[in-house]
Chain A
């Protein structure tokens, strides 16, 4: 079945450091890919998405490129801030499921130190 694998956390960085959180997927069809963020005490929020190969999603300085050849969707940010501290979830939605069901990764906790 479909699955999403994320790098394990926690990831601890200093402010202004470069961030990469790895995400790879397995899917039957050609899924859409998402990054969600969960700030402390809040619900999940969509950060960015890409719906086809080579698409780049971007938002709030974060970027991720849909790489079909490596089945990856790694999240990057050039300069993290303390306010980026949160849990990040990679997810896919496979149209072959018929219901576009979302499959989430286990999440990666990011802690940014001032």
Chain B
């Protein structure tokens, strides 16, 4: 079974530029998550999708971050414009459904450096 795929693995941009990250979840997984992991901290949930609908985006900085999940499969997270404090690893995860019974499977992450 293929795992969660993310690309790119690394990205370096200047502040005020825009960037997009892509995630392909495990086939058949209804729930998709984007997390931000700042160096030395644990992952923080940015947005959670159930199929192609948003169920939690309370911690997403909506003035600069956006995310979509087309047709309930792949997802894209965008930052525009980027700030220095956006430097972090962006993790995508998926699960068969929401709830503690369902394990979250994580991708390898995209490491973003904003200079």
> What CA separation (Å) do A105 and B3 show in the bound complex?
24
A93 interface residue per 8 A CB criterion: yes
Taking a contact as CB atoms under 8 Å apart, the answer to whether A104 and B48 are in contact is no
Classify chain B: how many residues form its interface, as a range: 20 to 34
Interface segment, one of B60-68, B77-85, B98-106 = B98-106
Taking a contact as CB atoms under 8 Å apart, the answer to whether B104 and A102 are in contact is yes
A18 interface residue per 8 A CB criterion: no
Q: Which of A4, A43, A100 is in CB contact (< 8 Å) with B98?
A: A100
> What CA separation (Å) do A34 and B43 show in the bound complex?
14
Within 8 A of A (CB), among B58-115: 91, 93, 98-101, 103-109
Residues of chain A with a CB closer than 8 A to B99's CB: 93, 95, 100
Taking a contact as CB atoms under 8 Å apart, the answer to whether A43 and B100 are in contact is no
> What CA separation (Å) do A105 and B40 show in the bound complex?
10
A82 interface residue per 8 A CB criterion: no
> What CA separation (Å) do A42 and B91 show in the bound complex?
11
Within 8 A of B (CB), among A64-114: 89, 91, 93, 95, 97, 99-102, 104-107
Classify chain A: how many residues form its interface, as a range: 20 to 34
B19 interface residue per 8 A CB criterion: no
Taking a contact as CB atoms under 8 Å apart, the answer to whether A106 and B45 are in contact is no
Taking a contact as CB atoms under 8 Å apart, the answer to whether A43 and B91 are in contact is yes
Pick the most buried of B43, B98, B101: most chain A CB atoms within 10 A of its CB. Answer: B43
> What CA separation (Å) do A85 and B4 show in the bound complex?
23
Seen from chain A, the residues whose Cβ lies within 8 Å of a Cβ on chain B are: 4, 31-32, 34, 36, 41-46, 49, 51, 89, 91, 93, 95, 97, 99-102, 104-107
